[in-house]
Structure 1
Amino acid sequence: MQVPDYSSFTKSVAAEKADAQGAFDALCELTKQAVGVKLFTVMTHDARTGEAGRIYSNMPEAYPVSGTKPANETDWTRQVIGEKRTFVANDIEGIAAVFSDHELIKSLGCESVINVPIIVGGRVLGTINCLHEAGFYTREKVEAAEALKLPGTVCLLLHECEGGH
């Protein structure tokens, strides 16, 4: 596996006026370079309430940053939240099986997804969500996405430090 070049991400996060928004922007750029992504979002997960919230989106017109919503009990929830394992679907059928917004996803030219859980202290704080055209996420790209866990953790912790949930 090729390790992503974290240098620009590190500079953004270590900057004197670093904030969560800047860190998420840097994470999005790192993801574009290391994995490849059309639609990139970051969601939080609150284990106490079972709610999820979108806190970053590179397509805010289609997928705006929003409040929270209850997490649906699906195979995706079992795998990503319960088992803390990355979810991958490389066709729209795999996406439709777990996401009710599959038609919107397809309309954006996305038919494959990787959802990487960000885990701190044994709990899932949220997920990094990468979407692209059908069949895009090869084994190598999934491995590269797994390498985003540490910078994703930094972003979510910065978000929490700024009062986000």
Structure 2
Amino acid sequence: MSPSAQTQLDVLDRLAEILANGDRPALYGAVDAALNALVGHKLFTLLLVLPGGKEVQRFWSTNAAAYPLSGRKPMGDTPWGDLVIRRHQPFLGRDMDAIRWAFFDHELIASLGLGSAINVPIIGQKTLLGTIAILDAEHHYDAEKLAIAMRIAPYLVDAFRSEIAQLG
């Protein structure tokens, strides 16, 4: 069941308020809360695409034990990398078959009780900056939830630019 229109507006108003304050950690927490309220998730991470597009680096995670901050993944030369990094398209993985197709760490994902995923590219001025990653139980995500998550991504463009600038 979709969240009510009022819930959606409340979430977006909260994101806009935090965005105006310029507090990146607060924004990441608010995006986490927004996505949880609007589509649900058991894991939320934010990843930068590193120069060259071969690796992604995590800088926000709701499960730092399994997915630590600053953790890197070589994703550029994978089918997922072709879809998300090269073509700037979102990934909707509805089940464990899709998770196995996309992620080399699918066994860790399964061990956490996760079996579906959404990755939304963060794109500013036609440049891929990174991705939102949300995961939940198998068959939790569908096209409607992906569409909602895609509406949240633009709120993160400036924050991702700042994260990349800090990398040097």
TM-score interval (norm. to shorter) = 0.7 to 0.9
Higher helix share: 2
CA drift of 1:33 comes to 1.2
Cα distance in 2 for partners of 1:61, 1:67 equals 11
| 1:54 aligned partner, one-letter code | R
Aligned to 2:18: 12
| 1:45 aligned partner, one-letter code | V
TM-score, normalization: structure 1? 0.87
Cα distance in 2 for partners of 1:138, 1:70 equals 26
Cα distance in 1 for partners of 2:49, 2:152 equals 17
TM-score, normalization: structure 2? 0.86
CA drift of 1:72 comes to 4.2
Cα distance in 1 for partners of 2:133, 2:82 equals 16
Question: 1:127 is paired with a residue of what secondary structure?
Answer: strand
| 2:45 aligned partner, one-letter code | T
Question: RMSD between aligned alpha carbons?
Answer: 2.0
Distance of aligned partners of 1:67 and 1:113 in 2 relative to their CA distance in 1, 3 Å threshold: closer
CA drift of 1:89 comes to 1.0
Partner residue of 2:81 out of 55, 77, 80: 77
Structure 1: gaps (5+ residues): none
Aligned to 1:133: 137
Deviations 1:125-164 (A, max 9, x none): 0000010111111221111011112112243134345x24
Distance of aligned partners of 1:136 and 1:49 in 2 relative to their CA distance in 1, 3 Å threshold: closer
Q: Pairwise mapping of residues 42-81 of structure 1 onto structure 2 (< 5 A)?
A: 42-48=46-52, 50-81=54-85
Cα distance in 1 for partners of 2:88, 2:53 equals 18
Cα distance in 1 for partners of 2:103, 2:64 equals 18
Please say if residues 94 and 115 of structure 2, whose CA atoms lie closer than 8 Å, have aligned partners that are also in contact.
yes
Distance of aligned partners of 1:49 and 1:81 in 2 relative to their CA distance in 1, 3 Å threshold: closer
Aligned to 2:108: 104
Distance of aligned partners of 1:114 and 1:49 in 2 relative to their CA distance in 1, 3 Å threshold: closer
Would you say 1:147 and 2:143 are equivalent positions? no
Partner residue of 1:116 out of 93, 113, 120: 120
Matched-pair identity in %: 31
- Larger RCO (alpha carbons 8 Å, 6+ apart): 1
Cα distance in 2 for partners of 1:101, 1:71 equals 11
| 2:12 aligned partner, one-letter code | Y
Cα distance in 1 for partners of 2:143, 2:32 equals 20
Cα distance in 1 for partners of 2:160, 2:36 equals 19
Distance of aligned partners of 1:155 and 1:34 in 2 relative to their CA distance in 1, 3 Å threshold: farther
